[in-house]
């Protein structure tokens, strides 16, 4: 009887250890996918920041060019004699 009870305990312990390893494996997979997702978010943030910076620079250049054009047009509008030739 005692030998049979010892074998049952050993089997239970083995089943528990296997379940524990399966749970650890599942958690490792979950953590790995979460890290990949985190890396993707970091990369996406960097890419988006660079794109936004490029767009901001282009917008600044466009703003300056538009201001220059506005000044030129206002100057030309202030001197209508240039267009009366």
Contacting residues toward other proteins, per CB under 8 A = 23, 26, 30, 33-34, 37, 40-41, 44, 48, 51-52, 54-55, 58-59, 61-62, 65-66, 69, 72-73, 76, 82, 85
**Which DSSP state fits 52?**
H
CB of 82 to other proteins, least distance (A): 6
CB of 85 to other proteins, least distance (A): 6
Whole-angstrom distance, CA of residue 49 vs CA of residue 21: 41
CB of 3 to other proteins, least distance (A): 28
Q: Please identify, using beta-carbon distances, which residue of 8 and 48 lies nearer to other proteins.
A: 48
* Helix (DSSP H) and strand (DSSP E) numbers for the chain: 1, 0
């Amino acid at each position: 009887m005692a030998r049979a009870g010892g074998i049952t305990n050993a089997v239970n312990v083995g089943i528990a250890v296997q379940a524990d390893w399966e749970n650890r494996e599942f958690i490792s997979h979950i953590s790995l996918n979460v890290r990949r997702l985190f890396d993707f978010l970091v990369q996406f943030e960097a890419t988006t920041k660079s794109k936004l910076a490029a767009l901001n620079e282009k917008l600044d250049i466009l703003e300056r060019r538009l201001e220059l054009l506005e000044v030129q047009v206002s100057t030309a509008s202030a001197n209508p004699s240039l267009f009366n030739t």
